[in-house]
Amino acid sequence: MVVPTVKLNNGCTIPIVGLGTWKSKPGEVKQAVVEAITAGYRHIDCAFAYGNEEEVGAGIKQKIDDGTVTRNDLFITSKVWNTFHSFNKVEVAIRQSLKNLGLDYLDLYLIHWPMGYQENTVLFPKDDEGKFIFSDVDYLETWKGLEHCAKLGLTKSIGMSNFNSLQLKRILDNTTIKPVVNQVECHPYLNNSKLIQFCKEHDIVVTAYSPLGSPDRPWAKPEDPVIFEDPKLKELAQKYNRSPVQIILRFQTQRGVVVIPKSVTKERIVDNLNCTDFELTEEDVKYIETFDCNGRVCALDWVKDHPYYPFNVEF
């Protein structure tokens, strides 16, 4: 099937459904990418910090080599990690991701988080007491590094992830290349309507990560609710003769939000893709919006004392 696309403010287009790769384990993510591209996915979301870009790249290569797609058919995203926030490190980081993925360029490169960590060290630098070691690099410097990478042709578009409205505004006031995307956690229990509206007003597309609430997140507790098991969503699924997951994803895509559900199972990969060929009523979209309970699952509480921690404001 042909996946609908959303136009970015620089004229490029992004498929509204992509494959997420966070938490995809070694040994399974290559096949997930192969299955996804075979099923019709053209948008793959990656990040250096996920530690699986080489396998993702191997899956992409297999589908290019067998003639299913060309590089030009695909939309590949990666992200600069928190330990590469200084200007010169950004280029080092993107070149490493390109090498991992076996690509010459990215379609989109994002600042993964506004918070910088100590550089030239491990992904999660901590002191002897187990506290994170921060850097004092301003994310504006990181942004200038992304602009530099775009000018070099290493990425077609640039954006950010996990930025709040105040941080976005600060970027917009200090930019030569406008961000095209803000990728944030977004699902029925955290619908982020105010941030989405802010982004729309500034012609920035929102991508929803963890659109299904990331039930397999490493810090999940057994008693935590699982969104797609919500009786209200199951009821809606029955009404539309769809799966609860498809209802959740359609809720987002009807709002113009790009979704990147992660799966490594062929059936679910296909199921997730088939979420754009039906329509929810406006009443049902508004009904799902009432499920919001500020249910953020990726709050990163352990770094909330960082000066650029993004979740200390309303949106």
On whether 112 is known to bind a ligand per the annotation, the reply is: yes
Phi then psi for 204, rounded to 5 degrees? -115, 130
Strand partners, 17: 259
Name which of 45, 56, 137, 152 is nearest 95 in CA terms: 152
Told to judge if 50 belongs to the known catalytic residues of this protein, a careful annotator would answer: yes
Angle formed at CA 244 by CA 239 and CA 247, multiple of 5 degrees = 75
Please tell me what DSSP assigns to residue 107. Answer: E
Name which of 200, 228, 230 is nearest 214 in CA terms: 228
Q: Any idea which residue has 């996804």 for tokens?
A: 36
Q: Is 103 exposed, middle or buried (0-12, 13-18, 19+ CB in 10 A)?
A: buried
Gyration radius (Cα) of the chain, Å: 19
Q: 44 is written with which tokens?
A: 């793959």
Q: Is 23 exposed, middle or buried (0-12, 13-18, 19+ CB in 10 A)?
A: middle
| Active-site entry in 41, 50, 117, 209 | 50
Binding residues: 112
Binding residues for substrate: 112
Catalytic positions, please?
50
